Amino acid sequence: MHLPKPFVARGSRVLRCRSCLLAAHVCICDFKTSYQSAAQFFLLMHHNEGFKPTNTGRLIEDCIADTRSFEWSRTEPSDALISAITDESIDPYIVFPEGEGYEGRMVEYVPKAGKRPVFILLDGTWRQARRMFRLSRYLDHLPVIQPNVVVSSSYHLRKAAVDGQLCTAEVAALMLRQVEDNVGANILSAYYSIFNDHYKAARLSRPLDDQSAAKLFLRGLASD
């Protein structure tokens, strides 16, 4: 769990919730859930990401139980990360788009008996994620899996370097669908939608929609 560091960029004077990091009047913490998926996520976070209000990796931590986060290091990965990825009970994959130089590592997901799929997400800007992927030599032995992208990103809080690139939470939702966990994917997608709407409402000073489909869905789960 990353403790929030001082946020000194644009919007640093906004009174924020210390948990979700959104402006306090648009806090989304009431919509958090803890869904137990058959899959697990490891977030390998660039050191700049943990305290950014626009970061979506924390949405996965909020929704999908057992999500773990590790701060990325080029040369000194934590003992906790090395121990986690060498656990014989898991089936780990780095989630990253296909490209030149590592074609032989690209795989399709096939369930392995007795092993829990773990998806390692490189949580940073696209430029940072590419660098993390290229320089993390201690991950070179792991297979790489690409999400099946069927829609364009709805994340507009940062500009993508290339059209079609997705944010971390969107990638996680796609990976849940690839392991046929549609319930988990729907929960994460709904929470992400609420995050997007609340962030924009604060930035544009517009009212919140308390009857959005995403909110009704998560409220219905909470009342069951």
Q: Could you tell me which of 132, 142, 144, 140 has the C-alpha nearest to residue 74? A: 132
Which pLDDT value is given to residue 161? 43
Which pLDDT value is given to residue 41? 98
Entry pTM: 0.88
The whole-angstrom separation of Cα 189 and Cα 183 is: 10
Across the chain, which has 224 residues, the per-10-residue mean pLDDT values are 50 83 96 96 92 92 97 95 97 96 96 97 94 96 91 51 73 96 97 96 94 96 85
Sequence-separated (6 or more) residues with CB below 8 Å from residue 50:
2, 4, 5, 69, 71
Which pLDDT value is given to residue 11? 53
Instruction: State CA 126 to chain mean position distance.
Output: 13
Q: What are phi and psi of 208, to 5 degrees?
A: -85, 150
Which pLDDT value is given to residue 223? 82
Which pLDDT value is given to residue 95? 98
